[in-house]
């Protein structure tokens, strides 16, 4: 056997195990990505349940997952959860719609007119820097402790994110687009409708998503003020009776609803901004 033949034989001997390993790896089933993502949350739940059963986590600290699940199912069957959830959604949606509307109108006035900015921007900036909690006593004196005060506080929190982002979007339109519109002979109304407003839409959606988060934070607070219904009322009532299972359920509802509504806004954004070359559909 020549030297080259011996070298080729040695190479085949070395390559055969490597090829076998590669074929075995190819035949080995791969777990889907969503299964891998679920492993760590499930491990945490199992550890949580085991710690509760062994007494390491008393129910007064936090309830076991099984107890939370049983309580959630009982609240669903009794209709208690649906009733309070509907009340909270009405408050959040009403405050969000009014706040976003005010923010949009104020941003259009300030952003499209220099005189409007001079008149309106300073009061808006002053109101923005006032903490919402500081206005609670004054709102209660003015409007009482009814639903109007609760919705008004949500409105106050959701107006300014929309105003600031939309104002910034209007003022940061690419000057080349303005020059191109002037070259094409567009009048002011056409310039606003066809160039400025579409160009400011991305900033508006940023402000809308931020306002959504603020609306949930405000809702958690306002539902602690003399309420008899709502998710915040359930959490406050559960705190008095040390029902950690109900408190965890309320927190889960806030987080899941926030995620769902944010997903809805993302979907709307995907369709509204499909004209952007840089916008990805995947």
> Which pLDDT tens digit goes with each residue over 119-146?
888 888 888 888 777 788 888 888 877 7
Residue 273 dihedral angles phi and psi, to the nearest 5°: -110, 25
d(CA 158, CA 149): 14
Residue 241 three-state SS: coil
Exposure of 145 in the CB half-sphere (CA atoms within 13 A)? 7
The answer on pLDDT for 188 being more than 80 is no
- Other beta carbons within 10 angstroms of residue 186's beta carbon come to 16
pTM of the prediction? 0.73
Per-residue tokens: 68: 């939370």
What domains can be seen in the chain, in order of their start residue? 3-63 (no CATH), 66-272 (1.10.3720.10)
**pLDDT, tens digit (0-9, with 9 covering 90-100), for 38-78:** 777 778 878 877 887 787 877 777 888 888 888 889 888 88
The answer on pLDDT for 115 being more than 60 is yes
C-beta of residue 170 within 8 angstroms of C-beta of residue 195: no
- In the structure, what pLDDT confidence band is assigned to residue 1 with cuts at 50, 70 and 90? low
Please provide the average confidence, as pLDDT, over all residues in the chain.
78
Task: Return the ∠ at Cα 9 (arms to 7 and 11), rounded to 5°.
Answer: 70
d(CA 147, CA 103): 21
d(CA 232, CA 230): 5
Q: To the nearest whole percent, how much of the chain has pLDDT over 70?
A: 84
What residues contact residue 58 under an 8 Å CB cut-off, 6+ apart?
none
Q: What are the start-end ranges of the E strands in 194-240?
A: none
């Amino acid at each position: 056997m020549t030297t080259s033949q011996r070298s080729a034989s040695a190479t085949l001997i070395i390559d055969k195990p490597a090829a076998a390993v590669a074929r075995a790896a190819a035949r080995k089933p791969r777990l889907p990505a969503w299964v891998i993502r679920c492993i760590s949350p499930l491990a945490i739940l199992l550890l949580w349940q085991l710690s509760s059963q062994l007494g390491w986590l008393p129910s007064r600290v936090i309830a076991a997952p099984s107890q939370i699940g049983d309580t959630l199912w009982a609240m669903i069957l009794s209709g208690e959860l649906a009733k309070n959830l509907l009340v909270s959604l009405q408050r959040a949606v009403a405050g969000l719609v009014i706040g976003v509307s005010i923010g949009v109108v104020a941003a259009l006035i300030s952003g499209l007119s220099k005189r409007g900015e001079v008149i309106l921007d300073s009061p808006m900036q002053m109101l923005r820097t006032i903490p919402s909690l500081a206005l609670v006593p004054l709102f209660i004196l003015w409007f009482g402790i009814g639903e109007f005060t609760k919705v008004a506080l949500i409105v106050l929190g959701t107006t300014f994110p929309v105003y600031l982002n939309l104002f910034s979007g209007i003022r940061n339109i690419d000057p080349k687009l303005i020059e191109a519109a002037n070259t094409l002979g567009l009048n002011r109304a056409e310039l606003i409708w066809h160039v400025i407003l579409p160009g400011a839409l991305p900033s508006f959606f940023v402000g809308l998503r931020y306002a959504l988060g603020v609306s949930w934070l405000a809702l958690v607070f306002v539902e602690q003020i003399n309420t008899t219904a709502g998710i915040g009322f359930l959490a406050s009532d559960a705190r008095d009776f040390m029902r950690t299972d109900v408190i965890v359920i309320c927190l889960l509802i806030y987080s899941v609803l926030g995620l769902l509504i944010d997903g809805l806004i993302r979907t709307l954004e995907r369709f509204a901004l499909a004209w952007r070359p840089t916008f990805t559909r995947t």
